[in-house]
Amino acid sequence: MPALDGIRVLELAGLAPGPFAGMMLADNGASVIRIDRVNPPHQPSPDVLIRNKSSIQLDLKSIAGKDLFLRLIQEADVLIDPFRPGVLEKLDLDPTQKLLKVNPRLVIAQLTGFRRDGKYAAMAGHDINYLAVSGVLSMLGPSPRLPPDDRVLPPTPPGNILGDFAAGGHMCVTGIVMALFARSQTGKGQVVHANMVDGANYLATMPRISTKIAGQWDQPRGQNLSDGGCPYYNVYECKDDGNYMAVAGLEPRFFAKLVEGLGLSDRSWVAQRDNRKFWPEIQKAFQRKFREKERKEWEEIFDGSDACATPVLTHAELEAAGYEQRPGVTLTGTPAVDLRSRSGWDVEVLKLGEGGEQALREWMGWTKGKDYEIVKGGLQMKSVFKL
């Protein structure tokens, strides 16, 4: 039985972080109903984080749609709210004044980009903006000086994995699980406030503190041990253009295996690798050496060794090789839902209303026509519809 079996989740449709949180819960056995709008807004990309979910459409601005929503709230364990601060309040669905009174055991996870009480609270933003004001973006990417003005290269956006998914959706699920655990002891639900600014800053606890430790992260970005500055913690192109090896020989014994595999054990800088003045020389030696063989040849040399040298694989390569998608963690006693029936590679979307009738039957015992109707695309209780 999955760990979250029996947990019922309402996910108000939103962009990537909210759907990711819902998918994590669904993957671990929760029953997740996505609440779609009757007239969904334009989305820059489709929601593909839909595994094991169902959908219903509600007009939360209507009395009838709100009534049905509140009836679902009575039976829900978790509500995922991805809106900006104040949206639920404007809909007369205030989390503490309304929703928790309807269901005192409800866990309401409100996930925003910026802090709810900061100067950016009412502003729109995306992953890069949240990383920017969290202090984390300033630490990412190389910092060479570029011609013609000899100015330092700006920080490099790392894609939206760090902000949206790690600092956003994943942190939100952490809060939800802690709130559910607390409920098991107190019998009471609560509001969980998650935001990507605090999430990213929290994830960066070690690097942030390490900026004050000599030899750790005290140099400009791109010039430290684990941010691309160290030549033996870096990525190198092989003889076959566009293929790379990643190396991480930080510890002396791993470094020894790395230079042995590269055939560089006899170099004078091996014993002085911690001296940063030798780093440019080490990097050039590594660059030349890796360009002598194709990636497959380097894999044959380093596979099974403690050199901390691995190929940089693409998702296309993993898919072609039949890489098995698995849950982020494995629980031996209460495993996640079996994902093997879903490739994890294909684009799948959840159609509006897909699976909703079955979910309402399982949650509430309702059937369409008897208990509810669909009016102008939105679900309404039949009793309300007749008013």
Q: Annotated catalytic, 164? A: yes
- 284 contacts 234 by C-beta, under 8 angstroms: no
Question: Which tokens in the block code for residue 206?
Answer: 């070690």
Classify residue 214 as exposed, middle or buried by CB count within 10 Å of its CB (0-12, 13-18, 19+): exposed
Lay out the sheet containing 244-248: strands in order across.
Answer: 233-237, 244-248, 309-311
222 CB-side CA count, 13 A: 13
Long-range contacts, 365-373 (Cβ 8 Å, 24+): 372/68
**Residues 351, 357, 358, 363: is their CA dihedral positive or negative?**
positive
β-strands 53-58, 31-37 pairing: parallel
Residue 88 identity (one-letter amino acid): L
Question: Which tokens in the block code for residue 85?
Answer: 């601060």
Q: Measured between alpha carbons, how far apart are the two ends of the chain, in Å?
A: 43
Q: What is the rounded CA–CA span in Å between residue 126 and residue 63?
A: 32
CA distances from 190 to 41, 99, 178, 363 (A): 29, 10, 11, 22
Q: Using CA atoms in the order 185, 189, 190, 195, what is the torsion angle rounded to 10 degrees?
A: 90
User: Where is 382: in which H helix or E strand?
Assistant: helix 382-385
Question: Does 148 sit behind a cis peptide bond, omega within 30 degrees of 0 on the bond before it?
Answer: yes
Give the active site residue among 127, 164, 198, 227: 164
**Beta-bridge partner residues of 368:** 372
Phi, psi of 36 (to 5 degrees): -95, 150
Question: How many CB atoms sit inside 10 A of residue 232's CB?
Answer: 20
Active site residues: 164
